[in-house]
Amino acid sequence: MRVTARSLASVLALLAALAPSLAVGQESTINDAAVEPAGFSSLQKSLIIPGWGQLAEKRYFEGVAFLSAEVLCLAGFLSYNHSANAYYDRYQSADNREDAIRFRALAEKYDTRRNRVLLAAAAVWVVNLIDIYAIVKKNEKKQRALRLALGCGPNSELAVTLSYRR
């Protein structure tokens, strides 16, 4: 299988275009037209680019780790893919049987490495999504707290507010 940088770029562009519609848990209200469109949620950001959601949640170490791992995997993918394609071209133009066998074996070796790195990139993406989902759920639980607030009301009156968020 021959994978080019152009085909990889078109798949990534398609995923980026579909990401907002693929996000889970998006609720709509009756007055959607009146509400200004909100930016991407942290989960949607991590769906598009691993680590972006963690960076948006100010979890810099995790965000940089996921982003770096994904970039390294994609760089390895492109490098191994280039090597596999070069050896495959040499295999096709080989003059003798020994060279053809050697180049074919090298092409298959780099194809295998490319596929493993692509699998690692997918694993990084999945772990990234699990991590950001846990972060989002944890933040939602924090918002469901019972709050007691003291404040100043109109005309300098003391106000006590008790609120509960579900």
pLDDT mean by block of 10 residues, the chain; 166 residues: 61 55 43 50 84 88 93 95 95 92 95 95 92 83 64 69 64
Q: What residues does each domain of the chain span? A: 5-18+39-164
Euclidean distance between CA atoms 5 and 27, whole angstroms:
36
Euclidean distance between CA atoms 84 and 3, whole angstroms:
10
Q: Do 75 and 117 meet the contact criterion of CB atoms below 8 Å apart?
A: no
Q: Which of 48, 16, 126 is nearest to 56 (CA)?
A: 48
3 state SS for 24-51: CCCCCCCCCCCCCCCCCCHHHHHHHCCC
- pTM of the predicted model as reported, rounded to 2 decimal places: 0.61
Instruction: Name the one residue in this structure whose structure tokens are 């949640």.
Output: 57
Per-residue confidence (pLDDT) for residue 5, from 0 to 100: 60
